[in-house]
Amino acid sequence: MQQRIYALTKVERLIQTNGVLRKLEEKDIVLVSMWIADFQTCVTPGETIQLKKAKKVAQQQFQKNGLYLYEIEGKAVSMANTTRPINKSITVNLVYTPSDRREKGYASDCVAALSQLCLDQGYDSVLLYTDLSNPTSNHIYQQIGFKPVADSISLKLI
């Protein structure tokens, strides 16, 4: 997979929806498990993750306290995770919006709100990796304020 590493030091996109960013709660584990399973299928076509394993990942994210949901009118519509805090930077990953909620700006607003939260918490930069074959996500992240840092390749050995 051809990847690009991005860094953000200032959120340049205003929130477009009337959503609220909140931390993952225990009540969300089942929903997030399904989202994680679908996320895995989306990012690695042909590979699936069993719901049992996805639930374990969701529970781990709950314990790590870094996963956030973006809600519209009290209903979760997107998610993003923070991970790998190093000195003054933190990484955002696991950005996902269910297919029936896409193209409404929810993922963009989720990432923008989470990135701003990270900056407000004292991080100087927010990092993320993208799949270069997905022009939509690469465009959206740049609109939020992410700037390309480097390209990389992820190889799967068989």
The predicted-structure confidence for 6-32, as pLDDT tens digits, reads as follows 999 999 988 888 899 999 999 999 999
The class of domain 2-153 in CATH terms is: alpha beta
Alpha-carbon dihedral sign for residues 71, 76, 77, 81: positive
Q: What's the pLDDT at 156?
A: 65
Q: pLDDT, tens digit, for every residue of 82-95? A: 999 998 999 999 99
Band the pLDDT of 117: cuts 50, 70, 90.
Answer: very high
pLDDT at 96 over 80: yes
Query: What rounded mean pLDDT belongs to the chain?
Result: 90
Beta bridge partner(s), residue 99: none
Q: What's the pLDDT at 48?
A: 64
pLDDT at 47 over 70: no
In the numeric block, which tokens belong to residue 71?
A: 């809600």
Q: What's the pLDDT at 67?
A: 96
In the numeric block, which tokens belong to residue 25?
A: 């709660």
Rounded distance between C-alpha atoms, residue 107 and residue 101, angstroms: 9
Rounded distance between C-alpha atoms, residue 96 and residue 39, angstroms: 6
pLDDT at 66 over 80: yes
- Per-residue pLDDT averaged across 97-122, rounded? 95
Q: Would strands 89-96 and 125-131 be described as parallel, antiparallel, or unpaired?
A: parallel
Beta bridge partner(s), residue 78: 70
Band the pLDDT of 40: cuts 50, 70, 90.
Answer: confident
Q: Is the whole model's pTM more than 0.85, yes or no?
A: yes
Rounded distance between C-alpha atoms, residue 113 and residue 21, angstroms: 7
Length of the chain: 158
